[in-house]
A and B are shown apart, each in its own frame.
Chain A
Amino acid sequence: MNDMPRRITLAEWDQRYAELRAGGLSEPDYGGPLRRHVDEGDVRLLKLRMDNSAAALRLWNFLLTEEDRLRCAEARGKKIVGTMKDLGTVPVMAYSFSNLVAFYPDGAWWLPCLLEGGNELLAIADSLGIDDSYCPVRAMLGAFVSKKRFPIPGLLTCSVGATCDDFSAIAQRVEALGFSVFWWEIPHRRLPEPGEPAVELPGGFQAPAEQVAFVKSELERVLQALETYAAERLSQERLSDGIARANQVRAALATLRQVAYTADPCPLPALEMLVAEMLAIHFCSDHNETLAVLAELLDEVCRRVRTHTGVLEADAVRVFWVNPVADLRIMNLLEDVGGRVCGSDYLFCHALDLIPTDLPPLEALARMALADPMVGSAADRAARIAADVRRFGAEAVVISRIPGASHCAMEGAVIAEVLRAQTRVPVVEIEVPPVTDAMMPTLRTRLEALVETVREARSRSSLGEESK
């Protein structure tokens, strides 16, 4: 069996899976060949190239079985919480309870990609007046109405305020259709005024102390709702334990990102890194398994680094990627044209930062929630991206727009201006719809041009060095 790291197609994965099984592969209960997900409708997998490791197999299977896992949890008597829009705050609280399982209904935004259109879900959204001028997250509305994708949660929370209008509007429609929503407010993070008491947030942003206190009071309301739903009181100690467990995931991801994004050749494809990072948001409905999946991925990455092997050529152009892509295939495309992802801001970098453990737990969570890059100004977010561009040694930045997302209409311009001023790396902004097949030549050209620009700069730089 050839264990050289490669990106392989689903057809190749059929063979690879058989080889791994024959070689004694041991899988968790959700394991199995990736082909079965295609048979269940995730046909986009046919167009992707995925990492050929057993660790990646486990990652994909973990991701693509979440709905089954939620239904099993419900059948076992667990109570399901849908945590809309907060990207990593309420799930930490929910998983501190013994009988709650949290998930992220907004995750349905990838269904139009995985299902290559997701016709039924989008047709439902269309029929309710939520058309394709909205972000693909509109598939969530179809999922609620059809009740076919995820179990309908008994408690549905949604953060609003400094959030996308498109999501807020869709969540309002969800409520108007009869799904009760517990709204909580996340205010726009502003800069402290001169002399105003301020605190530093995870990730380095500053916020006025009064905003942190406000968010803490909102999270107290959320906690009460969770306690009522769970019929269980949550002590500070147990919430602190929940934070510590969330930090285990975040620490594992921090290590994985540091190793995978800095090693050369690139030890793990961008696609798998994107999926791995997503696990931080709500642990894909199983915290312990998330840790196990990440541990196996990290082992594989470290093995490859030790053996100087990787999935891409050693001189791949180092690209920092901003925003998640509606079509996963684009992460393949970047690598196909000679690039690699060496750093990312997929809209939830606050869910990757360690939650402070030297503070009362709700205070710590409030600080984390306010550190959400979407909550502050686009200039703040751009400054953090610029710092990460330098930290990871990126040579270019791709800003990936999400069609229909209210924040994407303008933030790209602000981020690009700040990056050009602060980092001098080339920046390209592209729009990625859920299925890019028809646009692939255009997107390929844009990314090729970016890669060639960097290679040209490298050549000039090395010529300059030689002439010295």
Chain B
Amino acid sequence: MKTIAYSSPFVPPEWIAAHGLRPQWLRLSAATGRPPALGRGICPYAGTLIDAALAGIDASALVLSTACDQMRYAAALLASRGSCPVFLLNVPSTWQTAAVRNLYRGEVERLGRFLATLGGIAPESAELARVMLTYDQARHTLCEAGLPARQFAEALAELHSTAFDVAPCRPTPLNWRVPRLACPTVLSALLDKPAVAPGELDMSPRRWPTAAERAAGIPVAILGGPLLEADYDFFDLVERSGGRVVLDATEGGPRTMPRPFDPERVAANPVQELADAYFDGIPDAFRRPNSGLYEWLGRELPDRHVRGIIFRRYAWCDLWHAELHRLKRWTRLPVLEIDASPDDTAATNRTEGRIEAFMEMLA
């Protein structure tokens, strides 16, 4: 089975899976010990993606989206340098009109035609509906499980890197090695399917906080774009500092999940429902206007009793950077800015100190 790597929450993994291909949500690791391939002005996440793609990712194609301008240019750069095939999904910034919704749906269909060129088979409606509902059920299960934020994020990444067969709730996770998840059993345990091949698991013991420990932590939200693999240590850091992330509003958390599918609409027109659920369901900084992001935060922050917001952004990420000042004015909650610089020990130590101070202030 061919693997299709992707790096945007607007790429529906169920659409890839329904074509008989394996979706792989890229969780990137910053290269260590060598200078970045590209220079000043490049967001570390985009730079890491370029580095990884040029070094060779274990996938037949890479799907990026226009939701970030640097990713748009990264697609051009990778195409010009002859990396694996790159598909650039056009995700409109505006959302108010039927025309942009149709544009997004058309892009999803175009992605399907691209997948067909790689050996994918366009699904019949009934088959697509089954795959969609399988993913939907799995996401629902995940949301109901009450997992700590890190476990949730890792399980969601696992889910979005999983090719299900057509029988509902029978995951066939074929890509445990890439990305190498810290705890790949979470999803399969949740779905009650021990589907991991022997020897392919990272079985290193990991101590998750107990329910009592978690209940004692100061509830905070983390907000921002995508995280690198190592950035998930951040959640542990928050917990060690006396907090707990009750709302992961980065690109790897529940903020970027599609809204639940409507079974009737799935039955009537699965592609339309797929497109609508993703296009309407994901609030983000890049949307114009991006009022939906603040509406979403306005619901989620009080629901989860958040007492502080950790705003994490990459250097040169204009979209998120610009929201920081606005967020501080919009919310009464304390906001801590973390300017992420991967592979920088000094920055890591500084971040640790800042989070500890933030938690002490919230305590």
Contact = CB atoms under 8 A, between A and B. Distances in A.
Interface in B32-73: 38-43, 46, 66, 68-70, 72-73
Size category of the binding interface on chain B: 35 or more
B69 A187 contact: no
A410 B70 contact: yes
B92 A187 contact: yes
B106 interface: yes
Contacts, number: 144
B232 to A, nearest CB: 25
B324 interface: yes
A188 B318 CA distance: 19
B69 A406 contact: yes
A409 B316 contact: yes
A98 B128 CA distance: 54
Contact of B69 (A163, A175, A181): A163
Contact of A407 (B69, B99, B286): B69
Interface stretch (A267-275, A291-299, A411-419): A411-419
Interface in B86-129: 88, 90, 92-94, 96-97, 99-100, 103, 106, 110, 113
Interface residues of A, number: 52
Contact of B93 (A134, A183, A413): A183
Interface stretch (A88-96, A164-172, A352-360, A443-451): A164-172
Contacts of A164: 69, 318
Interface in B288-316: 288-290, 315-316
A214 B326 contact: no
Q: Which of B41, B68, B70, B110 gathers most chain A CB within 10 Å?
A: B41
B297 to A, nearest CB: 14
Contact of A173 (B70, B73, B110, B322): B322
A404 B41 contact: yes
A218 to B, nearest CB: 7
Nearest to A421: B80
B99 A377 contact: no
A406 B100 contact: no
Contacts of B289: 172, 175, 181, 183
A164 B68 CA distance: 9
A435 B317 CA distance: 24
A169 B319 contact: yes
Given A168-B286, A169-B321, A377-B79, A190 B90 contact: yes
A130 to B, nearest CB: 6
Contacts of B316: 133, 406, 409
Nearest to A406: B69
Contacts of A130: 322, 325
Given A129-B322, A164-B69, A408-B41, A188 B80 contact: no
A165 B318 contact: yes
B75 interface: yes
A163 B288 CA distance: 12
Interface string B266-299: 0000000000000000000110111000000000
A410 B324 contact: no
A183 B94 CA distance: 7
Given A162-B72, A188-B90, A193 B110 contact: yes
A165 B66 contact: no
A225 interface: no
B88 A188 contact: yes
A176 interface: yes
Nearest to B96: A183
B75 A377 contact: yes
A185 interface: yes
B100 A169 contact: no
Contacts of A408: 41
Given A187-B103, A221-B97, A378-B73, A166 B326 contact: no
B37 to A, nearest CB: 9
Contact of A406 (B70, B94, B288): B70
A170 B97 contact: no
A463 B358 CA distance: 71
Contact of A165 (B70, B79, B96, B290): B70
Contacts of A377: 75-76, 79
B74 interface: yes
A411 B73 contact: yes
A128 to B, nearest CB: 5
A323 interface: no
A184 interface: yes
B90 A413 contact: no
Nearest to A129: B325
Nearest to B87: A190
Q: Which of B68, B110, B289, B323 has the most CB of A within 10 A?
A: B289
B330 to A, nearest CB: 9
Given A160-B288, A185-B100, A188-B90, A407 B73 contact: yes
Contacts of A185: 92-94, 99-100, 103
B77 interface: yes
Contacts of B79: 377, 379
Contacts of B318: 133-134, 164-166, 168-169, 404, 406
A410 B77 contact: yes
A409 B41 CA distance: 5
Contact of B319 (A168, A379, A418): A168
A173 B330 CA distance: 13
Nearest to A380: B76
Given A134-B318, A165-B286, A218-B99, A409 B92 contact: no
A32 interface: no
30 contacts: A133-B316, A134-B318, A158-B288, A161-B66, A161-B92, A164-B69, A164-B318, A165-B286, A169-B323, A172-B290, A185-B94, A188-B90, A193-B113, A210-B106, A214-B103, A378-B80, A379-B76, A401-B41, A404-B318, A406-B69, A406-B73, A407-B73, A409-B73, A409-B316, A410-B38, A410-B74, A410-B76, A413-B77, A414-B73, A414-B76
Given A162-B66, A410-B42, 13 more contacts: A128-B325, A129-B326, A130-B325, A161-B92, A161-B93, A165-B318, A168-B69, A185-B93, A185-B94, A185-B99, A410-B76, A413-B38, A417-B80
Interface of B: 38-43, 46, 66, 68-70, 72-77, 79-81, 88, 90, 92-94, 96-97, 99-100, 103, 106, 110, 113, 285-286, 288-290, 315-319, 321-326
